[in-house]
Structure 1
């Protein structure tokens, strides 16, 4: 199975993805560290480093699926072309695809998370303004990605509640 996380930065998707990966014994491939490494290699930020990171994550996820293992991909997946990338991968490999979208319905809490987060990614410091811009660019779910199984979790709920909901969704 291919599990694709989706949601704005700071929404809680990485936390939920990591807990699910740990609980299910699945690798989690995260786009952010890949992009940070690309930037750390000296590639200019004005280059399509985000696209490159998604493509590296896709290749890594595909090799994991080919090896017979399920995988979780942790990425914003804000636009349909990004979501369709996972649809196409699942179809190529004949695997089930599940999207887990994570939102934070409390804007103040979401902002606090962004402003107080400590990341180990030196080339990716995120501001609240950047998250607000991402929200403006976040597309409705349409096309093939809208037809695959998707659950939306709100990270204002306790983590355990969201994990239980995600587990039930993945087992259904």
Structure 2
């Protein structure tokens, strides 16, 4: 006998949020694959050029492999996750974590790539790409919830302007996505 769970089906994010499960960057796996493709393409081009020129040796192949591996390490994206009271960024070697309910500063660094730097009362520091929060509303929701607790507790001393701009951007992108999904754009 079959069961019909369609009427009781809940969105996975709502269920995770209810039970305090961590929210993750949904595009992280795709970004890792893109990093591998770039490194692989570089390796293939270098090996092909060596092969066509007739200068390929085992040592040169090892050098090109090391160069491609270095490119992969540079392009490897941090995996951002958040739950009630914390936000973490995990790279290849290390995870950095902050307590979002005890933030003392939030800064937006401009440069070649924009970075959001979060610091908590225990000295924890996380640096993430704000685009990750824009692409993942659940991550933003968890961070924003913690920020409100920090403001209410009086620990957040610096960063209200950066957070307000980011909140407006997240709201704008979320509204755009809703309009696109509903065909109202």
User: For the superposition of Structure 1 and Structure 2, which TM-score range results when normalised by the shorter chain?
Assistant: under 0.3
Bigger relative contact order (CA 8 A; separation at least 6): 1
Using the size of structure 2 for normalisation, the TM-score is 0.25
Structure label with greater radius of gyration: 2
